[in-house]
Amino acid sequence: MSKLKPAVSAADHYQGAKDAKVVLVEYGDYQCPHCGHAYPIIKSVQKKMGHKLKFVFRNFPLSEAHPNAVHAAIAAEAASAQGKFWEMHDMIYENQNNLDDNHLLAFATKIGLNVKQFEADFDSSNCQKKVEADFESGVRSGVNGTPGFFINEEKYDDSWDEDVLLANLEKLLK
């Protein structure tokens, strides 16, 4: 089994309790149709598990297959600079077929970002470096496609169908 490298840290984006017993990490590509399919499943699992689950998202844009994935990931990181990573994350997945730069800019406006600051952050090397660091950690962890999941730092290769995923996560609470 592959292990998560590096372990979840303060550099990661997460939702849920900081010290939750169960940690689900997703390596995702914003333009990947499979990730788009997984998005509502993860949302539902988060809702059902509540504070018992910590969900972490790391960028893993497969730019050869998905030409807009890198810019979408950078846009999410640029939104993070204003404390709105998850708002942008959700906006991107909910509008997955419209990820050109003009739409990403419109999303920034829609979620209430300072657009000038967003553009500056988008163009800065910091956001690009965060996306690259996430991608590299995925490669080191053995991710070879998206979505790639880890549960409590162990690679998860079972189905991510909601019932199966939820059962595997809840089993760790016992």
Nearest to 89 by CA among 104, 100, 101, 102: 104
Token pair, residue 82, equals: 């204003």
Q: What is the pLDDT of residue 167?
A: 97
Question: How many CB atoms within 10 Å of residue 47?
Answer: 9
Residues of the chain with pLDDT > 70: what percent? 99
Q: What is the pLDDT of residue 174?
A: 83
pLDDT tens digits for 103-145?
A: 999 999 999 999 999 999 999 999 999 999 999 999 999 999 9
In DSSP terms, 149 is beta-bridged to: 26, 156
User: With 0-12 CB in 10 A as exposed, 13-18 as middle and 19+ as buried, what is 125?
Assistant: exposed
**SS3 at position 47:** helix
pLDDT tens digits for 53-70?
A: 999 999 999 998 999 999
Q: What is the rounded CA–CA span in Å between residue 96 and residue 85? A: 16
| Contact (CB, 8 A) for 8 and 25 | yes
Per residue, the 3-state secondary structure of 126-158, as one string, reads HHHHHHHHHHHHHHHHCCCCCCEEEECCEEECC
Q: Which domains does the chain have, with CATH numbers?
A: 23-171 (3.40.30.10)
How high is the mean pLDDT of the chain? 97
